[in-house]
Chain A
Amino acid sequence: DTAVSQTPKYLVTQMGNDKSIKCEQNLGHDTMYWYKQDSKKFLKIMFSYNNKELIINETVPNRFSPKSPDKAHLNLHINSLELGDSAVYFCASSRTGQILTDTQYFGPGTRLTVL
């Protein structure tokens, strides 16, 4: 039973295309996150949703748009893909979003390659 799942695992696409990455958690958690890990393994928060509401929106191009249809899903849509978007994108969730105590559970990642 996968706690946090992402699809697809690999995504190879051309510049300029629009693509989506899906994330689902079956842990009953209230808060979900998207992180981007670059080629140097640096992991940076992009977005956070708590009960379907946007909490964190870091300095991310507005080509990236998260969508949370319900609290178990947080999808990431990317418009007009650029070479610099190539990275591994991780979805994560936590029980309440109380960062002082909560553990975050990560999905397996989606490796996006933009050609």
Chain B
Amino acid sequence: SQQGEEDPQALSIQEGENATMNCSYKTSINNLQWYRQNSGRGLVHLILIRSNEREKHSGRLRVTLDTSKKSSSLLITASRAADTASYFCATVHSNSGYALNFGKGTSLLVTP
């Protein structure tokens, strides 16, 4: 299947620590996007990285992409309790039309 798979499924850290989530996918992609979902809410777009990019930053977020390994990572530095959410990667393939292909997500819990 085309969807990404996040690892780990669940992650629990303390405030101030860094959180790293990984995403692996199976087919070649045009871009990869990370979304956050707070409990009971819709998804919020965090960052988009194109297939010809290797790293992207946005505030405390750092995303890397390794197309040779078909993997991406999302790093959240100096985590806060408000970062507690589920994080999803979504891949876009040349034959996926207008659809995002989501993984199952990583549940992040940041405790004070």
- A: which residues have CB within 8 A of B? 4, 31, 33, 35, 40-45, 48, 50, 55-56, 58, 90, 92, 94, 97, 99-101, 103-109
Contact = CB atoms under 8 A, between A and B. Distances in A.
Interface stretch (B67-75, B76-84, B100-108): B100-108
B102 A50 contact: no
Given A108-B41, A108-B42, A109-B41, A99 B97 contact: yes
A106 B36 CA distance: 11
Nearest to B102: A43
Nearest to B31: A100
Most chain A CB inside 10 Å of its own CB: which residue of B33, B43, B45, B97? B43
Contact of A48 (B31, B33, B99): B99
A48 B48 contact: no
B98 A90 contact: no
A106 B43 contact: yes
Given A100-B92, A104-B45, A109-B42, A56 B97 contact: yes
Most chain A CB inside 10 Å of its own CB: which residue of B3, B35, B42, B92? B42
A44 B92 CA distance: 13
A114 to B, nearest CB: 19
Most chain B CB inside 10 Å of its own CB: which residue of A48, A56, A103? A103
A90 B102 contact: no
5 residue pairs, one from A and one from B, having the closest CB atoms: A106-B42, A43-B102, A45-B99, A106-B43, A103-B45
20 contacts: A4-B42, A41-B104, A41-B105, A42-B102, A44-B102, A48-B97, A48-B98, A48-B99, A56-B97, A56-B98, A90-B43, A92-B43, A97-B98, A99-B30, A100-B31, A101-B48, A105-B45, A106-B35, A106-B43, A106-B44
A59 to B, nearest CB: 12
B88 interface: yes
Contacts of B3: 42
B30 A107 contact: no
Contacts of B45: 103-105
B96 interface: yes
